[in-house]
Amino acid sequence: MDTEERVNKLKPLLREVLEILGEDPEREGLRRTPERWARALVTYTRGYQDDPENHLKVIFQLDEDDYPMGSDDMVIVDSIAFTSTCEHHIAPFRGLVHIAYIPSPETRIITGLSKLSRVVEVFARRFQVQERMTQQIARAIDEHLSPLGVIVVAQAVHYCMVQRGVEQRGSTTTTTARRGVFLTNSELETRFQEYLKVRMDGSKV
């Protein structure tokens, strides 16, 4: 189903939602809202039409001299901004994703740095829970780059909680996903957290 087909099917349904909630969908301000709302929903969920493989198939190989056997140096991309949609309340949650991976000393495969933010986008643009999104990002990197290890940390503010008054304003949720050596070597995670602390010093989500 293409975008226009989706929008056309959603429009009458969303018009009905407005009516059920006590609005007049014919009043001036709301007349085009079902269509705008439908287009917005399609945008928020466009990750369903994408696959992390589309982005992670762009790989490069480091020379053996540049990445010697026994190396455990990390590639870190921090503060990738994302906005996703909570699948329980269909409300936004937004924040930052930080990723570190250690290339395999055997394959020495790396990917373009911008590709990691594309992968975040693929999973964020779906109905999500933050815990699963974090795991999916780590699993995709693990599967496509076969690194020695990967760690993904996500920090987010959930507007479903803010708007319903369940959560204090400014409270953030942090989730972590580890694969490979990050599961067994906690010293690596400590190093990663140290980098983040330096980088994030003074800044907030």
Task: State which residue, 86 or 116, has the beta carbon closest to Zn ion.
Answer: 86
Per the CB < 8 A criterion, the answer to whether 133 and 174 are in contact is: no
- Catalytic: which of 128, 130, 135, 136? 130
The stretch among 7-15, 58-66, 86-94, 96-104 that binds Zn ion (CB under 5 A) is 86-94
Count of residues of this chain found to bind Zn ion when the rule CB under 5 A is applied: 4
Q: How far is the CB of 42 from Zn ion (least distance, A)?
A: 20
Examine the residue annotation and report whether 160 is marked as an active-site residue of this protein: yes
Task: State which residue, 159 or 195, has the beta carbon closest to Zn ion.
Answer: 159
Per the CB < 8 A criterion, the answer to whether 93 and 22 are in contact is: no
Examine the residue annotation and report whether 86 is marked as an active-site residue of this protein: yes
Contact call for residue 89 and Zn ion (CB under 5 A): yes
DSSP string, 26-86: TSGGGTTHHHHHHHHHHHHTGGGG--THHHHT-EEE--TTTS-TT--PPEEEEEEEEEEEE
Point out which residues pair with 116 in neighbouring strands: none
Q: Which amino acids are annotated catalytic?
A: 86-89, 130, 158, 160
